[in-house]
Chains A and B, each alone.
Chain A
Amino acid sequence: MFNDLKVSFFLACKSIQRGNKGTSILTVLIISLIFVNLIFFPSVVEGVEETLIRQSIEHVCGNVVIEPKDDQRYIDNADSIEKKINKLPGVVGTSSRYMTGATFFYNNKLKSGSVHSIDPSDEEVVTKFHSGLIAGEYLGKENTNEILLGIDITGKEDEVTGDSDLGGVQVGDKIDVTFSNGIIRKYRVKGIFDISSININRYAFITEKEMESVLGVENQASEILVKLSQRGTEEEYRTNFVELGISEDVKTWEEKTAGKIGSLVNSFSLLTVISTVISLIMAVVVIFIIIYINTVNKKRQIGILKAIGIEQNVIINSYVIQVLFYCFCGIAVGLLLFGIITSYLSVNPIRFPLGYVEPMVEQVLILQNIISLIVFSLIAGFIPAWRTANENILKAIWG
């Protein structure tokens, strides 16, 4: 058995060593491309998922959101709740917000959206939308007559977008805002932000102080965002919050996005399966053809090997070993190529409508694909080798 393998190995080595180098290189290259194809798409999908999650956490809801109980409009005693939460280890910060509907007017143009209030310094700790400012400045705590607008509200001056925005409001312009409770106020645009992320560009932000005066409330909140130092610990904190006596509705980012990310990713996963299956079929076909041509060309040699007493299995295995060799080389080159592609994309991420995405490489995924590629290649190589080696000796030699 061991000796048989030794002979198979001997034949395989000589065949690789003395065979056509061009064919070998081409084979390795094709396998490497198939391998890249196999892992690239899933890793982009993974990257999209990661980006969506990160954006939800960074821009929309933090790791955990506290919301009013079902029958209530606001969370009461927001300050004391925030204080309690902030004392917990692992909590990076909290930010309480009010939210209300509003209509924006500028230059005879009208746009409805929603206004959120923030404590500017708290907000900076919890979310990252301040980093998306493309003009002007961030809010100060005491600003009462200034507002930050998302790019979807302001619109761009040089872009004709019809009635879907205010048609190019600039920093320093004054706009009128009608809140849902009927109060109308004039604000100076202090900053404009553009975050390529879901929904945020449709928001406007004013200070908490200003919002409380508009709504006529105090020490309440529509939501409190909580940022944690580590993702994945949300559930623990939910129980911690209950233990602290917080009876409000506590939602993790997962619940808050209500499976939207999950269902998006699921619809991708069908595509992933399809692309994986196609890649594997390609691998099978390519390797089958290569080994088939190879064995057909060497039919006579295979016959002679059998005639001089080399066992059929030894001959088949020598081809299987060659396939393994090409497969390993192809995977190695594929990993190298993939490494080059991903390191390029991490510097120049792909711009999706939802933001920049870089492929995420999961080791399990790579391992899985290495194994399936090897298994499929072995089968694809074995069949033609077996067919040829199984032929009658005289037929193989004399056709």
Chain B
Amino acid sequence: MITITNLTRTYVMGTVHVHALKGISLKINKGEFISIMGASGSGKSTLLHQLGLLDIPTQGEILIDGKDVSKLSEKERSLFRLTQLGYVFQEYAIISELTALENVYLPMLMTGRKKQDCINTGIDILNKVGLGDRLDHLQHELSGGQQQRVAVARALVNKPKILFADEPCANLDSSSSRQILELFKKLNKELKQTIVMVTHEDWHMEYSDRVIHLKDGLI
């Protein structure tokens, strides 16, 4: 599914070079639920940004489904993110001017589907994440955990090949965290959803199939 070869990412800040990723090679299989762990500053987020096409690696190759994504134009990357990838951020990252439902179906609307189909799909997914009764709530009318579930629903609406989540539970209490993780587990088991999740809580590991430890930009 994903093949990474010798991936590096170096941030240049004036004369200082920060080597966040120092040559990572990795294979992620279809249907896997992977946890990426490591100390703060070890490069977990950086790695996920490269995989999620939010950033451009300094060196190395990323093949997603055999496609070399470094060759894509800005526009193609955008379309690729829209149709192939789902991304859940650490902070609640839902659009404040849109209701929960609108947030969820927006990416689907962007693919050119009929609005009513998008709405129906959005309602379905929100039901699945347990927010069927919060469709018309705005960001400030939702709790942190609920917002995060909306973000997960939004990431799933276009049936992505891979779901990325960067510390999705970092701002949540343990029961909300558990809900999210259970949800991931369910998606992985029932829909064979490929998931790559960054976390630094040990107890999160047990939900995933495989754990990748990152240390100073290396596996």
- Which residue in A19, A301, A314, A394 is a CB contact (below 8 Å) of B49? A394
A305/B95 in contact, CB under 8 A: yes
Within A163-209, the residues touching B (CB, 8 Å) are none
A394/B82 in contact, CB under 8 A: no
CA separation between A307 and B49, bound complex, in Å? 10
B93/A304 in contact, CB under 8 A: yes
Within B50-96, the residues touching A (CB, 8 Å) are 52, 54-55, 74-75, 78-83, 85, 87, 89, 93-96
Within B1-53, the residues touching A (CB, 8 Å) are 49, 52
Say yes or no: A307-B110 contact (C-beta < 8 A), given A14-B98, A301-B95, A397-B93.
Answer: no
Query: Shortest distance in angstroms between A291's beta carbon and chain B's nearest beta carbon?
Result: 15
User: Which residues of chain B have C-beta atoms less than 8 A from A7's C-beta?
Assistant: 106, 109-110
- Which residue in B55, B78, B80, B106 is a CB contact (below 8 Å) of A306? B78
Number of residues of chain B lying within 8 A (CB) of chain A: 31
Say yes or no: A310-B82 contact (C-beta < 8 A), given A14-B97, A394-B49.
Answer: yes
Asked if A157 lies at the interface with its beta carbon under 8 angstroms from chain B, I say no
Say yes or no: A308-B82 contact (C-beta < 8 A), given A10-B109, A14-B102, A394-B54.
Answer: yes
Within A373-399, the residues touching B (CB, 8 Å) are 393-394, 397
CA separation between A301 and B107, bound complex, in Å? 14
B89/A304 in contact, CB under 8 A: yes
CA separation between A212 and B74, bound complex, in Å? 93
CA separation between A332 and B120, bound complex, in Å? 38
CA separation between A7 and B105, bound complex, in Å? 11
User: Which residues of chain B have C-beta atoms less than 8 A from A21's C-beta?
Assistant: none
Asked if B138 lies at the interface with its beta carbon under 8 angstroms from chain A, I say yes
User: Which residues of chain B have C-beta atoms less than 8 A from A15's C-beta?
Assistant: 97
B82/A307 in contact, CB under 8 A: no
Name the residue in A3, A301, A306, A308 with the highest tally of chain B Cβ atoms < 10 Å from its Cβ. A308
Query: Shortest distance in angstroms between A5's beta carbon and chain B's nearest beta carbon?
Result: 11
Say yes or no: A311-B75 contact (C-beta < 8 A), given A6-B109, A394-B49, A394-B54.
Answer: yes
- Nearest-neighbor residue (CB-CB) of A300 within chain B: B93
Asked if A245 lies at the interface with its beta carbon under 8 angstroms from chain B, I say no
A307/B107 in contact, CB under 8 A: no
CA separation between A309 and B154, bound complex, in Å? 11
Asked if B155 lies at the interface with its beta carbon under 8 angstroms from chain A, I say yes
CA separation between A309 and B85, bound complex, in Å? 9
User: Which residues of chain B have C-beta atoms less than 8 A from A301's C-beta?
Assistant: 95-97
Q: 1/0 contact trace for A333-366 toward B, CB 8 Å?
A: 0000000000000000000000000000000000
Asked if A231 lies at the interface with its beta carbon under 8 angstroms from chain B, I say no
Within A112-161, the residues touching B (CB, 8 Å) are none
B155/A308 in contact, CB under 8 A: yes
- Nearest-neighbor residue (CB-CB) of B75 within chain A: A311
CA separation between A301 and B74, bound complex, in Å? 19
CA separation between A60 and B8, bound complex, in Å? 89
Query: Shortest distance in angstroms between A309's beta carbon and chain B's nearest beta carbon?
Result: 3
A309/B54 in contact, CB under 8 A: no
Asked if A87 lies at the interface with its beta carbon under 8 angstroms from chain B, I say no
- Nearest-neighbor residue (CB-CB) of A310 within chain B: B110
User: Which residues of chain A have C-beta atoms less than 8 A from B109's C-beta?
Assistant: 6-7, 10
User: Which residues of chain A have C-beta atoms less than 8 A from B54's C-beta?
Assistant: 307, 393-394
- Nearest-neighbor residue (CB-CB) of A16 within chain B: B97
Query: Shortest distance in angstroms between B67's beta carbon and chain A's nearest beta carbon?
Result: 16
- Nearest-neighbor residue (CB-CB) of B79 within chain A: A309
- Nearest-neighbor residue (CB-CB) of B54 within chain A: A393
User: Which residues of chain A have C-beta atoms less than 8 A from B75's C-beta?
Assistant: 311
A18/B78 in contact, CB under 8 A: no
A309/B82 in contact, CB under 8 A: yes
Asked if A86 lies at the interface with its beta carbon under 8 angstroms from chain B, I say no
Query: Shortest distance in angstroms between B39's beta carbon and chain A's nearest beta carbon?
Result: 19
Query: Shortest distance in angstroms between A399's beta carbon and chain B's nearest beta carbon?
Result: 12
- Nearest-neighbor residue (CB-CB) of A393 within chain B: B54
B97/A312 in contact, CB under 8 A: no
Name the residue in B52, B98, B158 with the highest tally of chain A Cβ atoms < 10 Å from its Cβ. B98
User: Which residues of chain A have C-beta atoms less than 8 A from B93's C-beta?
Assistant: 300, 304, 307, 397
B78/A312 in contact, CB under 8 A: yes
Query: Shortest distance in angstroms between B147's beta carbon and chain A's nearest beta carbon?
Result: 12
- Nearest-neighbor residue (CB-CB) of A10 within chain B: B109
CA separation between A197 and B54, bound complex, in Å? 74
A308/B97 in contact, CB under 8 A: no
- Nearest-neighbor residue (CB-CB) of B113 within chain A: A3
CA separation between A314 and B52, bound complex, in Å? 20
Query: Shortest distance in angstroms between B105's beta carbon and chain A's nearest beta carbon?
Result: 10
Within A279-322, the residues touching B (CB, 8 Å) are 300-301, 304-312, 314
Say yes or no: A304-B112 contact (C-beta < 8 A), given A309-B79, A311-B75, A311-B78.
Answer: no
User: Which residues of chain B have C-beta atoms less than 8 A from A10's C-beta?
Assistant: 106, 109
- Nearest-neighbor residue (CB-CB) of B111 within chain A: A3
CA separation between A312 and B79, bound complex, in Å? 11
Query: Shortest distance in angstroms between A300's beta carbon and chain B's nearest beta carbon?
Result: 8
- Hey, which bits of chain B sit against chain A, CB under 8 A? 49, 52, 54-55, 74-75, 78-83, 85, 87, 89, 93-98, 102, 106-107, 109-110, 112, 138, 154-155, 158
If A305-B95, A308-B154, A309-B107 are given as contacts, then 9 extra A-B residue pairs at C-beta distance below 8 Å, sorted by A number, are: A7-B106, A14-B97, A300-B93, A308-B106, A309-B82, A309-B83, A310-B78, A314-B110, A397-B89
Ordered by A's residue number, 13 sampled pairs between the chains whose C-beta atoms are within 8 Å are A3-B110, A11-B97, A14-B98, A18-B138, A19-B97, A301-B95, A307-B54, A307-B81, A307-B87, A308-B81, A308-B154, A310-B82, A394-B54
